[in-house]
Amino acid sequence: MKISINRLKKYLALTESPEEIGALLTRSGLEVEGIEEFESVPGGLQGIVIGEVLTCEKHPDADKLSLTTVDIGSAIVPIVCGAPNVAKGQKVLVATVGAKLFPTESEPFEIKKAKIRGQVSEGMICAEDEIGLGKSHAGIMVLDTNLANGTPASEYVEVAQDNILEIGLTPNRADAASHLGVARDLKALLGREICLDSEQDLKVETSGPQISVEIQNSADCPRYSGVVITDLTIGPSPQWLQNFLRSLDLEPINNVVDITNFILHDLGQPLHAFDADRISEGKIIVGKLPKGTPFVTLDDKERKLSGEELMICDPKGGLCIGGIFGGKGSGVSDSTKTIFLESAYFSPDVIRKGSQFHGLKTDASFRFERGTDPNMPVYALKQAVKLLQEFAGGKVCSEIIDLYPERVQDFVIQVTYGHINRLIGKKIDPSEVKSILESLDIRVENETEAGFRAIVKPYRVDVTREADIIEEVLRIHGFHQVELSENLSTDYLAEHPVKDLNKLQYRLSEILAGLGYFELITNSLTKPSYVEKSGFLDASQSVEIYNKLSEDLGVMRQTLLFSGLEVLAHNINRRQTDLKCFEFGTIYSKGETGYLENRRLAIFHSGNRSAESWIEQSKAFAFADIYSIVEKILEKLNIEPSAISIVESAPFTYGLHLKSGEKELGTIGLVDEKMLKLAEVRQEVWFADLNWDLLCKKALGLKKYQEISKFPEVRRDLSLVIDKAVSYDQVKSVAEKAGGKLLRKIGVFDVYQGDKIDPSKKAYALSFHLQDQENTLTDKVIDKTMSRLIQAFENEVGALIRT
């Protein structure tokens, strides 16, 4: 859930930084997972200034170009301009050299000093579409301003800037699924008052259609409110409202729909606007339709009703799946003049069943199925009407309809101070308890020395028991303020299971053995000559044996490589040439503080990966084989390398180095011929040397599995032409960052290097598998995700996208 800091400031006087606000909310149970910066104009017009055209002449070698000199405050610069309306004396917006522009309908680019038809150009005079301010490319923007040359463009064009909190909302905190809900928590945490717009009575301003409402079962719909508004002009929303919605990753549609979305995210009350002229006989019926009834929703899909979902109907049939999704035939269009605006409180159970049956997860159903505030519908309705009057020219033509046959009662909870102190583990002063609860809109009554009665408003669906009241006190008081007693027994603390390293090693050994690997157990004593002749081991770190049995067993091994190569040589000399082996072993060295031991996992490949047969020819082991098995091991242990770099030093001819943070996970590669000669091995060997101690520390246990998503996976392919120096790991990292949680898997199905592209380039054909765990992906979401990926590839790895 996204929350705007600017909007929170409308409710509270906030002087704290976004990071401080995020820390406060996280401490109180609303975990802030991230903070993003939002700018209404991408790039914030950085590097763009106001300039004045001093001279303007025709380009000597191009009919449609002009040579200008422009005063940009800090300098007078030459600019070649192709706009037909450029002229001397104009005030214009100039993108200076180094500025990055974000055009409305094309990809971002950087302004560079250039020569255009032989003439130097040091900047660009901008049209509105070139800097993301509109879609017109008819000519440059000519400004009517007295601002000095060199003034940043952001001082002329208002750029809305905001910080957006990404909150991981838990299912029980339905009350916090809005800006008002988050502001309520901040009110309690900071001890400041909330500023709410007053509730004013609506007056009927003109005559118009009248709507009657019938609720067939008040248990499904305890409260239903609405009002008719006419003389509407459907059009774009004001810029502040569009900016607010875009900051929450919502696309503005029109003033009526945008206002309903604003109220939903601001107050937590979903609204729905029906075209009143499409409501048959001027009557709304809230009830259920027979099982199997077809109904076309706003996304143009025909759905068969289950008979259990709540429907908003007129006498002719369904208009909307109540609290979930609107109908195609009753929605607001550009020609709409009169609407019936609905604001209701629906039963969470009936909304949840309907949402799950149809697989529809909307912003409205998200809130209704968790429980909204039954006292909010009329207030939210009045706030929306005020905005519709101001920004859509609407006039109220009916009294507010408010059917509320049986009022939802407050929760009444008896609380004792003894239980508060026992469960929290600390004595909290009764006056602080009362102050915290009242700051959370929980009324305290019948107070005695032993306890009190708490009256909780029904929007707090998660506070129904004494333990819930105590939790509210604790989260505002602060978990960090509850000290752990010195004599506190571990019986009171959750125990974390200790990793059984032997079990982890045994399970991994089973997996490798099942894949056809043989386990090696070799001697920890080895030849000193390996250290002296290998060139990559340090003789000063060798642990020497004082009473040597022989010179060949004079030192402790610093690597598992040579003991493993000796085993390979023994087998190869006996015509066992196709080998897959692994060893868990310890290596030894001397450090400044004494002797060091480190457990390693070594993997060896040599010869052919499969025996020759009539089905297929034998193939020699390659780098992909050893890398693949290391990938499998890391995947089983739930470890993701943070960095991968190329290795071209002993003991490898070439290979890869894997890191986790600043620590080495291991190295994979082709063993250098010099090392093979030392152990008398006469065929290629692929070797992986993994830091088993670090793997055990980082391991999250063997991989866990989850149910297959019921929502379909979508595949999209891209072909990228990139520099040969760019690794696949870089491409993958960029994709994972840009693709976000929707990107489930990335695959490479072709790599090309040849005469059809630049010799310094290579081409990757990549597959991207997208899936949402909660919704079926729409074409719009898929296209937006792929656009983000394309832009990231172009900007971060200099890719050329081939179609």
Cα angle 194, 198, 203; round to 5:
160
Tens of pLDDT, residues 595-619: 999 999 999 999 998 877 788 788 8
Residue 499 pLDDT: 60
Sort strands 212-215 and 283-287 into parallel, antiparallel or unpaired. Answer: parallel
Residue 154 pLDDT: 87
Q: What is the mean pLDDT of residues 639-654?
A: 86
Residue 63 pLDDT: 84
Residue 563 pLDDT: 94
Query: What's the pLDDT band for 501 if we cut at 50, 70, 90?
Result: confident
Cα angle 717, 720, 724; round to 5:
140
Q: Is-contact 221 354, C-beta < 8 A?
A: no
Q: Is the pLDDT of residue 406 over 60?
A: yes
Residue 618 pLDDT: 83
Residue 700 pLDDT: 67
> Whose structure tokens read 């999250």?
700
Q: Who wins on pLDDT, 549 or 13?
A: 13
Cis status, amide bond into 712, omega within 30 of 0: no
Residue 494 pLDDT: 46
Q: Residue 354 carries which side chain, given as an amino acid letter?
A: G
Residue 12 pLDDT: 94
Residue 495 pLDDT: 47
Distance of CA 151 to the CA centre of its chain: 36
Q: Who wins on pLDDT, 520 or 755?
A: 520
Task: Kindly state the percentage of the chain with pLDDT values over 70.
Answer: 97
Query: What's the pLDDT band for 133 if we cut at 50, 70, 90?
Result: confident
Average pLDDT, the chain: 91
Q: How far apart are CA 482 and CA 486, in angstroms?
A: 13
Tens of pLDDT, residues 781-798: 888 888 889 988 988 888
Tens of pLDDT, residues 38-70: 888 888 899 999 999 999 999 988 888 999 999
Tens of pLDDT, residues 333-342: 999 999 999 9
Q: Is the pLDDT of residue 730 over 80?
A: yes
Q: Who wins on pLDDT, 501 or 3?
A: 3
Q: Is the pLDDT of residue 488 over 70?
A: no
Task: Kindly state the percentage of the chain with pLDDT values over 90.
Answer: 67
Helix %, strand %, coil % for the chain, to 5? Answer: 30, 30, 40
Tens of pLDDT, residues 242-292: 999 999 999 999 999 999 999 999 999 999 999 999 999 999 999 999 999
Q: Is the pLDDT of residue 490 over 60?
A: no
Tens of pLDDT, residues 148-196: 999 999 889 888 889 999 999 998 999 999 999 999 999 999 999 999 8
Q: How far apart are CA 174 and CA 366, in angstroms?
A: 9
Alpha carbon of 386 to those of 382, 394, 400: distances in Å? 6, 9, 14
Q: How far apart are CA 540 and CA 707, in angstroms?
A: 54
What dihedral do alpha carbons 322, 323, 327, 330 form, nearest 10°?
Answer: 80
Q: What is the mean pLDDT of residues 412-419?
A: 95
Q: Is the pLDDT of residue 493 over 60?
A: no
Q: Who wins on pLDDT, 380 or 483?
A: 380
Residue 142 pLDDT: 94
Q: Is the pLDDT of residue 489 over 90?
A: no
Residue 517 pLDDT: 95
Query: What's the pLDDT band for 8 if we cut at 50, 70, 90?
Result: very high
Q: Is-contact 400 378, C-beta < 8 A?
A: yes
Residue 206 pLDDT: 92
Q: Is the pLDDT of residue 515 over 70?
A: yes
Tens of pLDDT, residues 83-105: 999 999 999 999 999 999 988 88
Residue 93 pLDDT: 95
